[in-house]
């Protein structure tokens, strides 16, 4: 809403003061509404040091679609150290349960310890003043465990490692973050066990209308992403929307140039280097 400053200046002082108070209050309400409705706005609000890249805008748009129910099955493949877990396993659960305080979330990753760490980060976000400025969702006072907590309004969060028991739990939102360790990704038996656990465990705990997000770095074409995409050819199988980001784009430029430059990416080492992961992605972009 544009304000004609010249007209405002002509108002009596008391009316001008009241007008500006109401205008600022309206602007604050619009800001809060934007943060509630838009994942990227929430990220910038809760994480002022965040360095935005083009891939973040794409992921944030998909998360918005998840929140509104437009999208139900999402896979995001991206290299290490590109804000994968911060987005999917810390910010997303906190934002989603802020929007819906009764939401039930199951968070999984390749180890229970790491899953609990994600739960602690999300819980810490929800306890922050910045979060409470926007959302009315509050944690139950007796929810002390980092990996198992509840909201005062009836929402639930449960963290588990691959292979862990999820009996008795239900999920409106299932988040899978790097289901394979780099070592297990080289072991076909381990990959198959992870998929079997997914189909017999967390996938069976999904509530009607529930959503699944799988974010991971790909180390093997037979990993969970590969198996999920392969099985979607079967009748009545989940149909996935796939978003992929190589560390280095086909143009030769980093996918996140605001943070990484080409020389730094070449020196990043893991069990498989980023450059090797990038080469694998270009050879098998949808496998």
Query: pLDDT band for position 18 (50/70/90)?
Result: low
Cβ-contact 210, 173 below 8 angstroms: yes
Confidence of residue 37 (pLDDT cuts 50, 70, 90): very high
DSSP 12-62: -HHHHHHHHHHHHHHHHHHHHHHHHH-HHHHHHHH-TT----HHHHHHHHH
251 pLDDT more than 80: yes
The alpha-helical segments, DSSP class H, found in the chain are 5-9, 13-37, 39-46, 54-68, 84-85, 92-99, 112-126, 129-132, 188-200, 224-231, 262-267, 274-283
Query: For residues 264 and 256, is the Cβ–Cβ distance under 8 A?
Result: no
Cβ atoms of residues 137 and 95 within 8 Å? no
Neighbouring C-beta atoms of residue 188, cutoff 10 Å: 11
User: What is the structure's pLDDT at 97?
Assistant: 98
Could you tell me the pTM of the whole model? 0.85
Residue pLDDT, tens place only, 137-169: 999 988 888 999 999 999 999 999 999 988 777
pLDDT surpasses 70 at 179: yes
Q: Please give the DSSP secondary-structure letter assigned to residue 271.
A: S
Query: Where do we find the tokens 């893991």?
Result: 270
């Amino acid at each position: 809403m544009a304000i004609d400053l010249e007209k405002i200046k002509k108002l009596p002082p008391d009316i001008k003061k009241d007008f500006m108070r109401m205008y600022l209050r309206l602007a604050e309400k619009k800001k809060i509404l934007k943060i509630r409705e838009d994942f990227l706005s929430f990220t910038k609000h809760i994480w002022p040091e965040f360095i935005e890249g083009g891939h973040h805008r794409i992921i944030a748009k998909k998360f918005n679609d998840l929140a509104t129910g437009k999208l139900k099955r999402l896979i995001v493949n991206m290299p290490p150290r590109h804000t994968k877990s911060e987005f999917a396993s810390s910010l997303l659960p906190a934002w989603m349960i802020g929007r819906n305080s009764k939401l039930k979330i199951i968070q999984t990753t390749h180890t229970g310890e790491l899953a609990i760490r994600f739960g602690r980060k999300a819980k810490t976000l929800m306890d922050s003043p910045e979060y409470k400025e926007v959302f009315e969702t509050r944690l139950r006072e007796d929810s002390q465990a980092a990996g198992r907590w509840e909201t005062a309004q009836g929402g639930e969060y449960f963290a588990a490692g691959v292979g862990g028991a999820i009996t008795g739990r239900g999920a409106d939102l299932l988040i899978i973050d790097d289901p394979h360790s780099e070592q297990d990704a080289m072991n076909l038996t381990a990959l198959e066990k992870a998929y079997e656990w997914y189909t017999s465990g967390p996938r069976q705990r999904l509530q009607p209308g529930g959503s699944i997000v799988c974010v991971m770095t790909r180390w093997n074409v037979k990993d969970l992403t590969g198996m999920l995409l392969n099985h979607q050819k079967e009748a009545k199988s989940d149909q996935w929307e796939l978003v992929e980001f190589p560390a280095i784009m086909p143009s030769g430029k980093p996918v996140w140039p605001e943070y990484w430059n080409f020389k730094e990416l070449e020196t990043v080492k893991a069990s498989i280097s980023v450059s090797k992961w990038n080469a694998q992605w270009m050879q098998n972009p949808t496998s």
